[in-house]
Amino acid sequence: MATVAAVIASTHHPFYYRASTSAGPDRPPFADEWVAKIEAFRQTLTRAEPDVLVMVGSDHFHQLWLDNMPQFLVGKAPFFDANWYNEEREFGLPRMRLAGDEDLAAYLLREGLDAGFDLAFSNELRIDHSVTCPIITLRPQADLPIVPVYTNIFAPPMPRPSRFVELGRALRRMVEAWPSDKRVAIIGTGHLSLELGGPRQFGPHGPDPEFDRKAVAWIANGDVDGCLGEVTLDSLHAPGNATHGFMDFMLMMGAAGDGVKADYTDSLDLFHTMEAYFTWYPEGAPS
């Protein structure tokens, strides 16, 4: 059976690429610290020696639109082109192409459907920065095949937080049962408190530092019950109008396991939003 080499949860900050590659007067003052934290985080994936990456993220109204909106979708294709004109325009993100692992995608679709998750699928999916940001930060050589798993954290009505946790648990079980000798890293990205297009956006910190502090503790401690006890679809409006992206972190808490503390935790307070990075090693930390 396959091995879950690592479970990784991260924010996906679209400005990292530009901040980390800029020089001279264009380089923001926080770039060096940010790059150092990302390079340390990257080592946590490198040390796990993965063969394939399951990438949990969310399409930001790029290919998925309100005339045909899936709640959860698995990409099954030999390749995934990546990043979109408006991401190039606003964030300076490069065009990319990633290989897909169709065997694992087919397995997750079959087993997921049989486990009660009516997963949609796509055989031609252009992925966006929710998947490419963690490739840029964690695996910039982009040399491993991926299976993208998209969630709807963007367009109500959305599944409830508990459903995200359940899908994370199911993904973990399915990967562990995949008849393969490959080492799989399950990587997912979301947000802490975040406001986009509202009065609290682009402040000196994230819109709700108190929520961020609690959220980092829930994730770092694997406190699924504590998190589910406080977080609802309604409550997520309070910390910032785009905070439903936190449900992808909750999915990753499900994948990491109830009560399982992260082996690696880091964060970085930036303007507009807080960055947070977590890694779990189900087999024990590699030497």
Partner 1 sequence: MSKYLLDKFLYTVDRDPDLVERYRSDPAGTVEWWEGEIANSILNCHGAERSTWLAFSEEERRALRSHDHVALFGMGAHPFLTLTLFIAMFERDHGPLEYQIAYARAMEHITLPYPDIAT
Q: CA–CA separation, 207 vs 45, rounded Å?
A: 30
* CB nearer to partner 1: pick between 185 and 236: 236
- Which pair of tokens denotes residue 67? 């005339």
For position 156 contacting partner 1 by CB under 8 A, the verdict is yes
For position 24 contacting partner 1 by CB under 8 A, the verdict is no
Of the CA atoms within 13 Å of residue 264, those in its CB half-sphere come to 24
For position 89 contacting partner 1 by CB under 8 A, the verdict is yes
Task: Provide the minimum distance between the beta carbon of 24 and partner 1 in the complex, in angstroms, as a whole number.
Answer: 14
For position 235 contacting partner 1 by CB under 8 A, the verdict is no
For partner 1 (CB under 8 A), the number of binding residues is 29
Give me the helix-helix angle, 129-138 and 31-46, nearest 10°. 80
Range 65-84, binding partner 1 (CB under 8 A): 65-68, 84
Q: CA–CA separation, 188 vs 168, rounded Å?
A: 10
For position 284 contacting partner 1 by CB under 8 A, the verdict is no
Q: CA–CA separation, 230 vs 117, rounded Å?
A: 24
Q: Which of 49, 123, 140, 202 binds partner 1 (CB under 8 A)?
A: 202
Start-to-end C-alpha separation, the chain? 22
Binding segment for partner 1 (CB under 8 A), chosen from 108-116, 152-160, 219-227, 253-261, is 152-160
Task: Provide the minimum distance between the beta carbon of 16 and partner 1 in the complex, in angstroms, as a whole number.
Answer: 16
Cα 6 to chain centroid distance, Å, stands at 13
Contact 12, 151 (CB under 8 A): no
* CB nearer to partner 1: pick between 203 and 209: 203
Q: CA–CA separation, 133 vs 10, rounded Å?
A: 10
* Contacting residues toward partner 1, per CB under 8 A: 60-62, 65-68, 84-86, 89-90, 154-157, 196-203, 237-238, 241-242, 271
